[in-house]
């Protein structure tokens, strides 16, 4: 894959920042674009050409891809379940960015185009039990994804497929499963469960009370992928020959209550759990079937949840502790 000049769209975000750093560390010329003011970027790695730009506008997409060989398209308006359940229109408006980036990449003769899709594309009727059967790639059809965010992701997957078929743009698609890790969002409404629970337990450890709120009954299940695995898998899939969407997620299924147990052990405290049964929950259970990624790449995300959570908790604890100081 020719990838000496690389664009990370959404490079000011959590995953985008880590990806841009990894690519820059490999000696590649990296351009990172994000709509957020640079003061709000998660990180700006050394040597990265960082620019604030609204990629929902076609002229900005054209400028972003100028001279670029490889695009990593991560730009989207999203967050945890508390955000996507209450901002469905905003999530779907990402289709403007998704469409304009594909058109600009096609017209600029980009060599390879990676799109970050989501496990939210999977049909809801296959995710109704906590003891869920792991989702294989074909389970996205017949289509009934998460309302709003999931529909936009599935639609853009199809666009990527047809831009490959009709125009020869070499598109690659990964379906991310619940990415977490240091330097991520842990407050403000867009955070996902691992970061939210780390924040709540760290707050308790710092003397903020021993009771924490848990959304739902805590028996809903998920798999969670550590950021280092996400970055490695993204580059493997982006450089690979496979043109179909492929799962990129951990196969380690846990309940929310089990995750609280793990974080309590890391923090060295026990908290009281108050369950908010009317909170946004999403599906009852979701896990990643990694058969395809193992067959295609001889690899799958392997960071144990306890190990990734320890790194994440320590970072969030230090962030909260420094504020108190």
Quote the crossing angle between the two packed helices 94-108 and 149-167, to the nearest 10°: 20
Give backbone dihedrals phi and psi of 215, rounded to 5 degrees, phi first.
Answer: -75, 130
Q: What is the pTM of this model?
A: 0.94
Q: Residue ranges of the chain with pLDDT lower than 70?
A: 1-3, 79-81
Candidates 226, 194, 198; CA nearest to 314 is 198
DSSP string, 174-212: EEE--EE-TTS--SSS---HHHHHHHHHHHHHTTS-SEE
End-to-end Cα distance, the chain: 48
Q: Please name every residue paired with 255 in a beta bridge, in sequence order, or none if there are none.
A: 221
CATH of 5-179+227-248, one of 3.40.50.720, 3.40.50.800, 3.30.70.980, 3.40.50.280: 3.40.50.720
Q: Say what the pLDDT of residue 234 is.
A: 98
The β-bridge partners of 212 are 273
Residue 244 is classified by DSSP as S
Domains of the chain: which residue ranges? Answer: 5-179+227-248, 182-223+252-324
**Architecture per CATH, 182-223+252-324:** Alpha-Beta Complex (3.90)
Determine the pLDDT at residue 7. 98
pLDDT of res. 80: 64
149 is catalytic: yes
pLDDT for residue 220: 93
Measure Cα distances from 4 to 32, 108, 232 in Å: 14, 16, 17
**82's tokens:** 């508390």
Long-range Cβ contact pairs of 273-277 (< 8 A, separation 24 or more): 273/211, 273/212, 273/214, 273/218, 274/211, 274/212, 274/213, 274/214, 275/213, 275/214, 275/215, 275/216, 275/217, 275/218, 276/213, 276/214, 276/215, 276/216, 277/216, 277/217
How long, in residues, is the chain?
325
Residue 169 dihedral angles phi and psi, to the nearest 5°: -75, 120
- What 3-state class would DSSP assign to 173? strand
Catalytic residue (one of 72, 149, 176, 317): 149
Is 203 within 8 Å of 267 (Cβ atoms)? no
The answer to whether 5-179+227-248 and 182-223+252-324 have equal CATH topology is: no
At 191 the pLDDT is 87
What is residue 86's predicted lDDT score, i.e. its pLDDT? 80
3-class DSSP state for residue 6? strand
d(CA 215, CA 284): 12
How far apart (Å, rounded) are the C-alpha atoms in residues 233 and 241?
14
Collapsing DSSP to helix, strand or coil, 49 comes out as strand
Residue with tokens 């196969």: 251
> How many angstroms separate the CA atoms of 131 and 285, rounded?
7
CB-based contact 197:259 (threshold 8 Å): yes
Q: Cβ contacts of residue 65 below 8 Å, gap of 6+?
A: 7, 71, 101, 104, 105, 108, 110
Cis amide bond preceding 142, omega within 30 = yes
Q: Which residues does 26 contact at the CB level (< 8 Å), separation at least 6?
A: none
């Amino acid at each position: 894959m020719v990838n000496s000049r690389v664009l990370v769209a959404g490079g000011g975000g959590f995953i985008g920042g880590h990806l841009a750093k990894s690519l820059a560390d490999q000696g590649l010329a990296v351009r990172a674009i994000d709509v957020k003011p640079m003061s709000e970027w998660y990180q700006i790695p050394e040597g990265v050409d960082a620019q604030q730009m609204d990629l929902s506008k076609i002229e900005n997409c054209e400028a972003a891809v100028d001279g670029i060989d490889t695009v990593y398209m991560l730009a989207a308006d999203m967050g945890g379940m508390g955000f996507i359940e209450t901002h469905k229109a905003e999530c779907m408006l990402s289709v403007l960015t998704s469409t304009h980036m594909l058109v600009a990449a096609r017209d600029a003769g980009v060599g390879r185009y990676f799109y970050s899709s989501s496990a939210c594309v999977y049909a809801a009727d296959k995710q109704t039990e906590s003891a869920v059967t792991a989702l294989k790639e074909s389970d996205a059809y017949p289509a009934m994804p998460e309302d709003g965010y999931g529909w936009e992701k599935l639609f853009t997957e199809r666009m990527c497929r047809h831009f490959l078929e009709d125009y020869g743009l070499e598109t690659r698609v990964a379906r991310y499963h619940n990415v977490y890790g240091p330097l991520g969002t842990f407050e403000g409404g867009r955070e996902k469960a691992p970061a939210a629970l780390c924040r709540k337990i760290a707050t308790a450890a710092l003397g903020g009370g021993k009771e924490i709120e848990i959304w739902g009954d805590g028996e809903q299940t998920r798999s969670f992928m550590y950021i280092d695995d996400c970055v490695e898998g993204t580059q493997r899939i982006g450089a690979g020959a496979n043109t179909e969407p492929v799962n990129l997620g951990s196969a380690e299924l846990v309940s929310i209550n089990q995750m609280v147990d793990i974080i309590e052990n890391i923090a060295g405290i026990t908290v009281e759990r108050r369950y908010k049964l009317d909170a946004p929950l999403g599906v009852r259970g979701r896990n990643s079937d990694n058969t395809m990624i193992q067959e295609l790449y001889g690899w799958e995300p392997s960071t144990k949840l306890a190990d990734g959570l320890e790194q994440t908790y320590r970072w969030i604890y230090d962030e909260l502790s420094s504020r108190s100081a």
